[in-house]
């Protein structure tokens, strides 16, 4: 009943990481094609749930857009835009704030992690974040949302909101969206303590590979990445209980478009002195052309702004009829 449609987004809350690339952007590029309509968004309204310096937010918005374009998001084949330019997102989010329950939000692990022991001091927006994300997705009746593992719970909450709306208003209006979480790098871990995910807002720059890092920096970061002392196992089962080793093997697999088993077959029993430089070389080979193109694109901000404005126009055309119908269903 619903047109197969993909929606996904990235926060402009800092520089893009290898986690954003492998867990999200690289897969978004692959989903462009006859099977889906694809809609990709720089979600700046999500970014300001924690403090953002205005000038940095503006620069990061363009950098994230440039990262998507440089990676192969084609603004002809996909709708690419900036969330705050399409006010329908905020309007639908308010409706969903009145559908979602406090208890649902309280159970979100990302909220618990970010709020820590100091929930009282967090913005109301950070708490309501998943309801805005549900609006992002359902405003386009998106059927598929390709994300990393960290966003799975939020997509599940989106399904709950759609189901409750449909149930409360006795309609079959919003689709029950599928999270698409597949491939070897759905949870890229940070390089210094293998227990946390690689994040653009992480504490130390040495923990993450930025998409714009130069070759030397990438080599140095992988070189210093924490690992155990054992060589690579012969089979994937041997990665059990070795999170740092697993992480590096999965990063290699995702960059090379092969499976972790194939990586281990390519480096039978290799030590880190062999594997880390090979991994760095592969990462540089894949990222260097993208970061070169990002530099070229960000040197002409007016062109990025023009592309985003055109994308926003197309997004509004898709969004307005769905918002109108929603308001009508609610009795407005
Ligand atoms: P970040 O956590 O780096 O600020 P976002 O919240 O903007 O990233 O997420 C953008 C997309 O990148 C989401 O689909 C998210 O699942 C994905 N993503 C972010 N970090 C990782 C990671 N370490 N591994 C895999 N995917 C990730
Ligand atoms: Na995230």
**CA-CA distance, 294 to 324, in Å (whole number)?**
37
Name which residue sits closest to atom 15 of ligand 1, judged by CA.
148
**Residues 155-165: pLDDT tens digits?**
999 999 999 99
Does 187 fall in a domain? no
Q: Is 64 in the pocket of ligand 1 (CB under 6 A)?
A: no
Q: Is 19 in the pocket of ligand 1 (CB under 6 A)?
A: yes
**Number of domains comprising the chain:** 2
The pLDDT of 45-59, averaged and rounded, is: 97
Is pLDDT of 277 > 90? yes
What is the structure's pLDDT at 237? 97
Alpha helices in the chain (DSSP H): 18-20, 26-31, 44-47, 54-71, 88-97, 102-106, 109-115, 124-138, 152-168, 215-224, 243-256, 260-266, 272-298, 301-330
Mean pLDDT, all residues of the chain: 96
Instruction: With a threshold of 0.90, tell me whether the complex ipTM lies above it.
Output: yes
Q: Is 20 in the pocket of ligand 1 (CB under 6 A)?
A: yes
199 labelled binding-site residue: yes
Is pLDDT of 192 > 80? yes
Any idea which residue has 């759609």 for tokens? 162
Are residues 249 and 134 located together in one domain of the fold? no
Are residues 212 and 324 located together in one domain of the fold? no
Can you read off the two tokens belonging to residue 274?
């062999």
Catalytic residues, which ones? 114, 197, 200
Are residues 30 and 62 located together in one domain of the fold? yes
Question: What's the gap in Å between 101 CA and the centre of ligand 2?
Answer: 22
Q: Is 200 in the pocket of ligand 1 (CB under 6 A)?
A: yes
Are residues 11 and 154 located together in one domain of the fold? yes
* CA-angle at 318, arms to 314 and 34, nearest 5°: 80
Share of the chain above pLDDT 90, in %: 96
Can you read off the two tokens belonging to residue 111?
């909220």
What is the structure's pLDDT at 122? 97
CATH number at residue 256: 1.10.240.10
Q: Is 18 in the pocket of ligand 1 (CB under 6 A)?
A: no
Does 44 fall in a domain? yes
The residue whose CB lies within 8 Å of the most ligand 1 atoms, and thus the one to mutate among 148, 154, 205, 254, is 148
Domain span at residue 148 reads 5-180+311-330
**Residues 202-243: pLDDT tens digits?**
778 999 999 999 999 999 999 999 999 999 999 999 999 999
Are residues 158 and 239 located together in one domain of the fold? no
Q: Is 147 in the pocket of ligand 1 (CB under 6 A)?
A: yes
**Residues 80-103: pLDDT tens digits?**
999 999 999 999 999 999 999 999
Are residues 142 and 24 located together in one domain of the fold? yes
Are residues 158 and 253 located together in one domain of the fold? no
The residue whose CB lies within 8 Å of the most ligand 1 atoms, and thus the one to mutate among 11, 21, 24, 142, is 24
Is pLDDT of 188 > 90? yes
Please, are residues 211 and 290 in contact by the beta-carbon 8 Å criterion?
Answer: yes
Does 301 fall in a domain? no
Among residues 228, 273, 229, 218, which one has the least CA distance to residue 251? 218
Q: What Cα–Cα distance (Å) separates residue 323 from each residue in 10, 62, 93, 96, 224?
A: 22, 27, 10, 12, 50
Can you read off the two tokens belonging to residue 310?
């055109």
What is the structure's pLDDT at 168? 98
Does 259 fall in a domain? yes
Please, are residues 96 and 131 in contact by the beta-carbon 8 Å criterion?
Answer: yes
Question: What's the gap in Å between 22 CA and the centre of ligand 1?
Answer: 9
Does 185 fall in a domain? no
200 labelled binding-site residue: yes
136 labelled binding-site residue: yes
Does 258 fall in a domain? yes
**Residues 127-146: pLDDT tens digits?**
999 999 999 999 999 999 99
Is pLDDT of 194 > 80? no
Can you read off the two tokens belonging to residue 205?
């720059």
What is the structure's pLDDT at 195? 81
Query: Is the backbone of residue 162 left (phi > 0), alpha (psi -120 to 50) or beta?
Result: alpha
The pLDDT of 34-54, averaged and rounded, is: 97
Any idea which residue has 């359902």 for tokens? 138
Q: Is 35 helix (H, G, I), strand (E, B) or coil?
A: coil
**Residues 105-130: pLDDT tens digits?**
999 999 999 898 899 999 999 999 99
The pLDDT of 49-55, averaged and rounded, is: 97
Burial label for 87, CB within 10 Å (0-12, 13-18, 19+), is: middle
Give residue 95's Cα distance to chain centre. Answer: 24
Which ligand 1 atom minimizes the distance to the CA of 13? 4
What is the structure's pLDDT at 22? 97
């Amino acid at each position: 009943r619903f047109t197969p449609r993909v929606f996904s987004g990235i926060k402009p809350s800092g520089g893009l990481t290898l986690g954003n690339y492998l867990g999200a952007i690289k897969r978004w590029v692959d989903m462009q094609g006859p099977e889906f309509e694809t809609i990709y968004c720089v979600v700046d309204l999500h970014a300001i749930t924690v403090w953002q310096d205005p000038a940095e937010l503006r620069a990061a918005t363009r950098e994230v857009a440039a990262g998507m374009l440089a990676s192969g998001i084609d603004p002809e084949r996909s709708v690419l835009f900036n969330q705050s330019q399409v006010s329908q997102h905020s309007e639908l989010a308010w409706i969903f704030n009145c559908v979602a329950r406090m208890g649902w939000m309280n159970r979100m692990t990302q909220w618990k992690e970010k709020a820590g022991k100091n929930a009282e001091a967090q913005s109301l927006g950070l708490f309501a974040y998943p309801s805005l994300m549900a609006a992002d997705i359902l405003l386009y009746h998106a059927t598929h949302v390709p994300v990393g593992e960290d966003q799975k719970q939020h997509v599940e909450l989106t399904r709950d909101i759609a189901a409750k709306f449909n149930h409360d208003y006795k309609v079959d209006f919003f689709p029950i969206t599928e999270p698409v979480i597949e491939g070897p790098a759905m949870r890229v871990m940070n390089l210094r303590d293998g227990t946390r995910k690689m994040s653009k807002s992480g504490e130390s720059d040495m923990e993450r590979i930025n998409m714009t890092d130069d070759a030397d920096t990438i080599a140095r970061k992988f070189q210093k990445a924490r690992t155990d002392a054992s060589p690579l196992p012969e089979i994937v089962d041997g990665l059990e209980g070795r999170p740092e080793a697993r992480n590096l093997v999965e990063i290699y697999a995702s960059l090379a478009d092969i499976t972790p088993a194939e990586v281990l077959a390519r480096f039978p029993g290799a030590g880190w002195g062999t594997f880390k430089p090979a991994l760095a070389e592969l990462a540089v080979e894949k990222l260097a052309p993208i970061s070169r193109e990002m530099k070229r694109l960000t040197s002409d901000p007016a062109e990025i702004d023009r592309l985003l404005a055109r994308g926003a126009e197309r997004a509004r055309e898709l969004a307005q009829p769905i918002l109108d119908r929603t308001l009508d269903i609610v009795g407005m």
